[in-house]
């Protein structure tokens, strides 16, 4: 399920859309709405590059694991 896999990976990297929408809805879209926004906030507002770097690596690993699991599950269904 290629489409699902691409979408899943794309969604975990969700960043620009909520960040822009934050301008008109700051009370419902928080600064840690998505993991990428949280990382951005940590790195460039708090200024804690080191923690943000660690967070982004954790996010990459989480995304990798989820993509792997997703691939495994959908491929089992196929055969």
Partner 1 sequence: MSTLTRPPKVATDSPVRRSSPRRAGSRGARKGLLFALPFLLGFLATYVVPIGYAFSQSLREKKSSGLGFGPTRVVFTGFSNFASILGDGDFWSSTLRTLLFSAAQITVMLGLALLLALLLDGVAARTVRFFRAALLIPYVVPAVVSTVMWLFLYSPTGSPLLDLAHRAGTDVTFFGGLNTYLSLGNLLTWQGIGFNMILISASLQALPRELYEAARLDGAREWRIAWSVKIPTSPGSWC
Among 2, 45, 76, 79, binds partner 1 (CB under 8 A): 2
With CA atoms as reference, report the closest residue to 54 among 68, 42, 64. Answer: 42
Query: In the numeric block, which tokens belong to residue 60?
Result: 């990459």
What is the closest distance, in whole angstroms, from the C-beta atom of residue 62 to partner 1 in the complex? 7
Say how far apart CA 13 and CA 32 lie, in whole Å: 13
Count of chain residues binding partner 1 (CB under 8 A): 43
With CA atoms as reference, report the closest residue to 55 among 34, 69, 71, 29. Answer: 34
User: Among residue numbers 12 through 71, which ones bind partner 1 (CB under 8 A)?
Assistant: 12, 14, 16-18, 20-21, 23-25, 27-29, 32-35, 37-38, 48-51, 53-60, 62, 66
Task: Give the Å distances, CA to CA, from 75 to 14, 37, 70.
Answer: 26, 32, 8
Would you tell me which residues interact with partner 1 (CB under 8 A)?
A: 1-4, 7-8, 10-12, 14, 16-18, 20-21, 23-25, 27-29, 32-35, 37-38, 48-51, 53-60, 62, 66, 77-78
């Amino acid at each position: 399920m290629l489409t699902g896999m691409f979408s899943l990976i794309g969604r975990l990297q969700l960043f620009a859309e909520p960040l822009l929408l934050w301008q008109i809805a700051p009370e419902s879209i928080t600064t840690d709405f998505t993991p990428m926004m949280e990382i951005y906030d940590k790195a460039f507002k708090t200024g804690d590059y080191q923690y943000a770097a660690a967070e982004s690596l954790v996010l990459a690993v989480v995304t990798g694991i989820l993509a792997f699991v997703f691939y495994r599950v959908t491929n089992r269904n196929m055969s």
